Amino acid sequence: MGFLARPEGRYSHSLKVFGSGAEVTGMLWDLYQEFGIQNNRNRLRHAENDQAETRGQAQDLAAQMQERFDRTVLINEAMWQLLSERVGLTDEQLARRVYELDMSDGLADGRRISQPVECECGAMVNAKSRVCLFCGAAAPARPFFDAV
Ligand SMILES: [Zn+2]
């Protein structure tokens, strides 16, 4: 040994403990890969938990909306019965009006889509706008339910 010993001697001793350079590199690569796999498994588990939570929230929201919809239909039916009893309107008259409203946008699709109306400047203003986007004038008057 002594000061004439080459530094490589120490390294080659170490390499005998850990294996060749290629083996060490391979081991490090395997560790790196294992770490990456574990990291991805953790991410997947978190993503699955998030997805389950989101699914649960969506189901709760759908159940709430169904409940509100059912209650709205119930209230509508009660209002219709009161109106029918007090004013004498018939179910046939109601059905005819529903059909007329449905067809007012040109399609019998169970809904009425509000059509744009023409502003005094000539631009078309959609149902949800309160002002004309071109001239700034107040939107033309339209049926109450167009804004609902
Ligand atoms: Zn305008």
Dump pLDDT digits (tens) for 90-99.
Answer: 999 999 999 9
Same domain, 124 and 76: no
Dump pLDDT digits (tens) for 100-127.
Answer: 999 998 999 999 888 888 999 999 998 8
Statement: the pTM of the whole predicted model exceeds 0.85: no
The pLDDT confidence band at residue 52, using thresholds 50, 70 and 90, is very high
Same domain, 129 and 76: no
For the segment 45-59, the average pLDDT, to the nearest whole number, is: 95
- Expressed in angstroms and rounded, the spacing between residue 65 Cα and the centre of ligand 1 is 37
SS3 138: strand
Structural domain of 59? 7-113
Amino acid, res. 120 = E
Q: Is 40 inside a domain boundary?
A: yes
pLDDT at 145: 81
Same domain, 98 and 56: yes
- Expressed in angstroms and rounded, the spacing between residue 76 Cα and the centre of ligand 1 is 37
- Cα–Cα–Cα angle for 10, 11, 12, nearest 5°? 95
Query: What's the structural domain count of the chain?
Result: 2
Buried/exposed 86-120: b ≥16 CB within 10 Å, e otherwise: eeeeeeeeeeeeeeeeeeeeeeeeeebebeebebe
- Expressed in angstroms and rounded, the spacing between residue 131 Cα and the centre of ligand 1 is 8
pLDDT above 80: residue 13: no
- Expressed in angstroms and rounded, the spacing between residue 85 Cα and the centre of ligand 1 is 45
- Expressed in angstroms and rounded, the spacing between residue 104 Cα and the centre of ligand 1 is 24
